[in-house]
Amino acid sequence: MKRYLQLIAGYMVVIGMTSCQKDANMPQKLAVSYLMIYNGGANYFGASSMVLVNNQFYGSRSYNDNGAGLVGAFNFSRYSRIDTGLYRIAFTDTAQAPENAKKVTESLFDLQDDRHYTIYLLDSLGFYGSMYTKDDVDKDPVNAKIRLINLSPDAGAVYCKIDTMSVGGIEDISYRQVSGYSPVRPDTKPGIRIMYRDKNTGMEQQLVRKSFVLEAGKCYTMILRGYKSPADGNVNKTINLSTITNF
C-alpha cells in the first residue's frame, strides 16, 4: 500500500513539474507591430528631438530623419518591431539635454498585429502635433506605388504630377493629410512634381520637382515638408520633398 501511494504521488509530482513549462514548447505566433518614426518638424533643423514611448527613451530624430538617417531625396524605411497595444508616443523639445527635455506633443496610438505604421512629428510655427499612417499595401508586380503626405503648414492643397501626367488619387492634399497609394509606371528618371493652383490667378504652379527611381513592386511615401516661406528666412526650412521606400 505504501509503495502504491508513493508511485501515485511520484506521478503527480512529475505531472505537476512538467505542467509548469508554460508555452515554451507550444509554438505560437507572437503579436507584433512595426513602427517607424519620422521627424517632420522644420524647427529641428540642426537639432533633434527625443522620441518617448510610454515615457521611455525610444530614439532621437533630427529634422527629416526616419531613424535610418537623413531621408534626403529618398531613403529606405526603418521599421522596428514592437509589441501590439496602446502606446503613448511623445516628442521632446530637445535631445541635447535629456534631463531638461520637455514634451512638445504626446498622443496615443493603438498598434495592431502585423501592421506597419509611421508616426510623424509635425510643426507649424511651434504648434506641434503628431499623426500616423498605416503603411501596409498590396504590392503591384507591374507598377510602383506612391502616396503623398503633406507636412508643410503653408503649402496649401497640393497635387502630384509625373512629368505632365496627373497622378490619380494624389490630389487636393492639405496639411496633415495623406493620400492613398497610387500605382504608377516604373521609371528610372521620372519628373515627380508637386503642384498647386495659385489662389489669385487659378494658374497651375510647381512647388517642388524631384526625381528618384520608381521600381515595379515597390511602395513609396513622399513627404512634403518645410515652409514655402520660412518665418526666420532659414533656407534649410524651405519646402522640399523627401521619399521613403516603405517596402
- What residues make contact with other proteins under the rule CB under 8 A? 1-2, 5-6, 9, 12-13, 16-17, 19-20, 22, 53-56, 86, 88, 102-108, 125-130
Closest separation between CB of residue 174 and other proteins, Å?
A: 15
Closest separation between CB of residue 16 and other proteins, Å?
A: 3
Name the residue nearer to other proteins (CB basis): 119 or 184.
119
CB 199 within 8 A of CB 228: no
Name the residue nearer to other proteins (CB basis): 53 or 219.
53
Name the residue nearer to other proteins (CB basis): 59 or 169.
59
Closest separation between CB of residue 107 and other proteins, Å?
A: 5
d(CA 198, CA 212): 27
Closest separation between CB of residue 98 and other proteins, Å?
A: 16
The residues, ordered by sequence, that sit 6+ positions from 114 with a Cβ below 8 Å of its Cβ are 31, 32, 33
CB 226 within 8 A of CB 232: no
Closest separation between CB of residue 156 and other proteins, Å?
A: 18
Closest separation between CB of residue 53 and other proteins, Å?
A: 8
Closest separation between CB of residue 129 and other proteins, Å?
A: 5
Name the residue nearer to other proteins (CB basis): 95 or 144.
95
Strands annotated E in the chain: 32-39, 48-53, 56-62, 74-76, 80-83, 85-92, 103-111, 116-124, 127-134, 144-150, 159-162, 165-166, 182-184, 192-197, 204-210, 219-225, 240-245
State the sign of the Cα–Cα–Cα–Cα dihedral 35, 40, 45, 49.
Answer: negative
Name the residue nearer to other proteins (CB basis): 25 or 201.
25
Name the residue nearer to other proteins (CB basis): 93 or 135.
93
Name the residue nearer to other proteins (CB basis): 125 or 165.
125
d(CA 210, CA 239): 12
| Cβ count near 133 (within 10 Å) | 18
Dihedral angle of Cα 167, 172, 178, 180, to the nearest 10 degrees? -40
Residue 228: helix, strand or coil by DSSP? Answer: coil
